[in-house]
Structure 1
Amino acid sequence: MSVRERLLASADELFYREGINNVGIDRVLEHAGVAKASLYSTFGSKDELVRAYLEGRQQSRRVRIEERIARHKTPRDQLLAIFDAMAETLARPGFRGCAFVMASAELPGGRGAQEVVAAYRAWVRELLLRLCKEAGARQPRLLAQQLGLLYDGSLVAGQLDGDPAVVATARQTAALLLDAAVAPARRAA
């Protein structure tokens, strides 16, 4: 592994497991087995290492979600597949919660980290909106917002309660919302 890869792997493991603010650069360097000069020549600062860590998390989550979506043909099934991908994430050993929620809480003024968090959230919102439109929702923005709340809520509930089954409830609720949003309007008698 390159120095960059070793630093990122160490940051990913330590920042996620122990928290960004709890892990100093010296711990990352020791864990990665690299010299301090390597960190600064590769990333320039801890802030940039944090940004790269979150970008890596964002990319891997996007890939997992996109792979799950690709297994399905209909927008309805694709929307529900987002919750299936989340269920897999919550069921993984060592799941501590959403890295983006944790980073946002730890680094409220961390500009680089907040930019990555904002980009990730924008991607999720755009994905939900696109699929809601493709599904034929009468109010796609409203449905996308509702599904987004279910998505965020189940991630946080899964973290706080330590119960990955919460996503099944969120998925069922998403299916109900989706079916109600795309059902033909009932005519008044």
Structure 2
Amino acid sequence: MIVEDSPLTQRAPAKGRILETASVLFYEDGIRNVGVDRIIAASSVTKATFYKHYRAKDNLIIEYISGQHRAVRANLESLIEASPTPEAALRAFVSAVAAEVGAPGFRGCAFINAAAEFPDPNHPVRVIVSDHREWYVETLADLLRKLGHPVPGDAADELLLARDGAFSGGYAGDSIAAIAAMSRVASRVIADARAAA
């Protein structure tokens, strides 16, 4: 799970505590399983403070999932900027996924988890998840385009689905096998780009 750090310092301390606490609880136990009273108690704020900042749990949920998107985006963009080539960036992307899957407390993908809890495709949470996935595919497709892949959009879809599989398989099953499978997909996609160049 990725929890934003820097924006919390810009919020009121209580508001930041509420969001940070909710982010951990939502990821660990599920969004719908965590009630407002539990968030209030765990973040050491009053009910009045909670409702002053968020008015309703739905507003906190939206801020949580939006914050997850901003954090993932910042991390991937930083990884790409630090990589000397598009291929190096793609390999670093696979390594970053492997590190996340192997991290203590890993409980799958926050976006897939959220989508499973909000089945209505028009719900604001699902809209954010959809926008996040579109951004992810576009970002990977841009790297693949720069690498010379003949069908960068399709290849980006494969990489994102391989990442989804690694996250799901890594949480529910064998994390080593899940990452190995994702690595094979990434290697094949990169080889396809090299062959076309």
How high is the TM-score relative to the length of structure 1? 0.89
How far does residue 78 in structure 1 lie from its aligned partner after superposition?
1.0
Alignment of 1:170-181 (within 5 A): 170-181=182-193
Query: What stretches of structure 1 move > 3 A for 4+ residues in a row?
Result: none
Q: Determine the structure 1 residue equivalent to 2:66.
A: 55
Which residue type is aligned with residue 142 of structure 2? Answer: R
Per the alignment, do residues 164 and 9 of structure 1 end up closer, same or farther by CA in structure 2, a change over 3 Å counting? farther
How far does residue 71 in structure 1 lie from its aligned partner after superposition?
2.8
- Name structure 2 gaps, 5 residues minimum: 1-11
- Name structure 1 gaps, 5 residues minimum: none
Q: Determine the structure 1 residue equivalent to 2:88.
A: 77
Which residue type is aligned with residue 90 of structure 2? Answer: L
1:106 aligned to 117, 129, 144, which one?
117
Q: SS at the partner of 1:183?
A: helix
- Please give the alpha-carbon distance, in whole angstroms, between the structure 2 residues aligned to 1:133 and 1:163: 30
Q: Determine the structure 2 residue equivalent to 1:93.
A: 104
Please say which structure displays the higher CA radius of gyration: 1
Per the alignment, do residues 184 and 22 of structure 1 end up closer, same or farther by CA in structure 2, a change over 3 Å counting? closer
Aligned Cα root-mean-square deviation (Å): 1.9
1:133 to 2:152 alignment: no
Q: Determine the structure 2 residue equivalent to 1:17.
A: 28
- Please give the alpha-carbon distance, in whole angstroms, between the structure 1 residues aligned to 2:36 and 2:188: 47
How high is the TM-score relative to the length of structure 2? 0.86
- Please give the alpha-carbon distance, in whole angstroms, between the structure 2 residues aligned to 1:153 and 1:68: 21
- Please give the alpha-carbon distance, in whole angstroms, between the structure 1 residues aligned to 2:110 and 2:174: 15
- Please give the alpha-carbon distance, in whole angstroms, between the structure 2 residues aligned to 1:64 and 1:90: 15
- Please give the alpha-carbon distance, in whole angstroms, between the structure 1 residues aligned to 2:68 and 2:176: 19
User: How many residues were matched structurally?
Assistant: 185
Q: SS at the partner of 2:175?
A: coil
- Please give the alpha-carbon distance, in whole angstroms, between the structure 2 residues aligned to 1:57 and 1:89: 14
Which residue type is aligned with residue 158 of structure 1? Answer: G
- Please give the alpha-carbon distance, in whole angstroms, between the structure 2 residues aligned to 1:136 and 1:63: 25
1:64 to 2:85 alignment: no
Q: Determine the structure 2 residue equivalent to 1:26.
A: 37
1:163 to 2:175 alignment: yes
Q: Determine the structure 1 residue equivalent to 2:163.
A: 151
Q: SS at the partner of 1:61?
A: helix
Q: SS at the partner of 2:33?
A: coil
What percent identity do the matched residue pairs reach?
Answer: 34
- Please give the alpha-carbon distance, in whole angstroms, between the structure 1 residues aligned to 2:51 and 2:123: 19
Per the alignment, do residues 22 and 59 of structure 1 end up closer, same or farther by CA in structure 2, a change over 3 Å counting? same
